[in-house]
Structure 1
Amino acid sequence: MLIDSHTHIDTSRFDADRAEVIAAAFAGGVTRMIDPGCDLPSSQAALLLAKAYPGRIFAGVGVHPHESTTYTPEVEAHLRQMLQEPEVVAVGEFGLDYFRMLSPRDVQREVFCAHLRLAREYNRPCIIHVREAHEDVVELLRAYGQDLRGVFHCFSGDVAQAEECLSFPGFLLSFAGPLTKQGNALPDVARMVPLERVLVETDSPYLVPKPEKARRNEPLFVRHTAAKLAELRGMTLEEIARVTTANAVRLFGLGEIHEAV
């Protein structure tokens, strides 16, 4: 019983077999999944998908830092409208990405803060993307997000950065495919993060985990990341599944929604 806390199953790479991929995930023990939008069209697509799979797929709505220049008052109005839908359980994904710099830094920061305001106003958790921008994310959260909750999705930092992220009591860390690979500090992070503050995800169709050889990630593969996390913590896969499922249910309010459907 696992929850894929971050999958872009709405994207065009699943157009040919989306229903089959979703069915395979459910059959393989993924009970629920969260699909965060990256811009207005993908946020709308995620909501439609959530409505098509009530109680099984949930949506996040937001604008990825790569798309920050598309964030307008009109886009925000649409996000506000969607945040009133029960299937929308999060604001995001949004954040800062200084690696590719597809949007100017000042615009990214401004749009980041706009999402924090939405999260506070609509009482939704944040799904935060961070790449080569850790210090600025921490700075903005300290200034404007101390009272918020959410997840640093696909966490990719080291132990010191993890400790700074965990200094925000409402935030969790989520691990994806990179945890299964060598050459990063994630095993050390996975060992130190409190169990009640950890999630697993695929970020599919990206970041295929080992030992899969597929060119496209999918929600079913979240079990590989969960298995690696279990190995690092000296736990069974079933134990990690229970813990991460409970954490996702608590953070995103899935229990109440799931039971009501």
Structure 2
Amino acid sequence: MQLIDIGANLTHDSFDPDRDAVLQRARDAGVVQMVVTGASREHSPLALKLAKRHPGELFATAGVHPHHASEYTAECDAEMRELHTHAEVVAVGECGLDYFRDFSPRPAQRRAFELQLQIAAETGKPLFLHQRDAHADFMAMMRNFDGRLGPAVVHCFTGTREELFDYLDRDWHIGITGWLCDERRGQHLRELVKHIPANRLMIETDAPYLLPRTVKPAPSHRRNEPFYLAHIVEELARDRGEGVETAAANSTATARAFFRLPLPPTAAQPSE
């Protein structure tokens, strides 16, 4: 079974003590490739640096999450554009809108999102999208770029049935995380994942966040890592009424096509 984690925050400082061991555990669990999320002015360059150390195995996104939208200056835009000249950077984002916490003012969020949509329109790269409690504005801004954007994935989908079908009607892809395993907040996803076409469904951990709550025995820590992607695909397969091998093969094929990833190297070793 080969898996691709389309969203792992591997530059997070919680991985600093044992990042190489984290990568090895993922390999041992069948995770053959990962997309390292770049979600800020600080961490997008770090995601690229990490991808360059593991050619063919790790790839990166480059963008500014709505939480950090206030940092999206003209200089930041220039930095993002430079990052997107590198082949290892395979998507624009994480970008979008988040009205749940409003860590950046909403006008700043919309401006940063629009500028990153412009980058996607100019480069033709896929979009790695974030949306929480901002569906109407999110859809309106995406419609403003109709006909100008390549493929898009709504990363870490946790929304409603109506939101899901709005996205599917636009031919967007859906990223499912361990939120599926949360009996408090993710129970509705158990039914919704049945409606996502296999060629539009991808899986991700969003590590170190969202440790699946159904992992047994429960680890002593709360840090998620790509190793747990195998657990997520097992839960997903059960909810969709299909075999684990089928769910894994479909999500891997979809991710490889979406991000235009090469076949994985036979032995992934850090590049000096």
**TM above 0.5:** yes
1:54 and 2:61 matched: no
Match of 1:180 in 2: 181
Percentage of identical aligned residues: 38
- Cα distance, 1:257–1:61 mapped onto 2, change above 3 Å: farther
1:239 and 2:232 matched: no
Match of 1:113 in 2: 114
Match of 2:135 in 1: 134
Q: CA deviation at 1:30?
A: 0.1
Q: CA deviation at 1:145?
A: 4.3
Task: Output the amino acid matched with 1:13.
Answer: S
1:195-206 correspondence runs (5 A): 195-206=198-209
Q: CA deviation at 1:182?
A: 2.1
In structure 2, stretches of 5+ residues that fail to align are none
Checking the alignment, whether the CA contact within 8 Å between 1:202 and 1:222 is kept in structure 2 is yes
Checking the alignment, whether the CA contact within 8 Å between 1:196 and 1:247 is kept in structure 2 is yes
Structure with the higher helix share, 1 or 2: 1
* Alignment: residue pair count: 259
| SS of match in other structure, 2:144 | helix
Q: CA deviation at 1:146?
A: 4.6
Task: Output the amino acid matched with 1:115.
Answer: Q
Per-residue deviation, residues 119-161 of structure 1 (Å, max 9, x unmatched): 1111111111111111211111112245421110000112111
| SS of match in other structure, 1:85 | coil
| SS of match in other structure, 2:26 | helix
Checking the alignment, whether the CA contact within 8 Å between 2:174 and 2:200 is kept in structure 1 is yes
Task: Output the amino acid matched with 1:241.
Answer: A
TM-score by length of 1: 0.95
Checking the alignment, whether the CA contact within 8 Å between 1:4 and 1:32 is kept in structure 2 is yes
TM-score by length of 2: 0.91
Give me the whole-angstrom Cα distance separating, in 2, the residues matched to 1:245 and 1:9: 19
> Where does structure 1 differ by over 3 angstroms across 4 or more consecutive aligned residues?
256-259
Checking the alignment, whether the CA contact within 8 Å between 1:116 and 1:145 is kept in structure 2 is no
In structure 1, stretches of 5+ residues that fail to align are none
Match of 2:213 in 1: 210
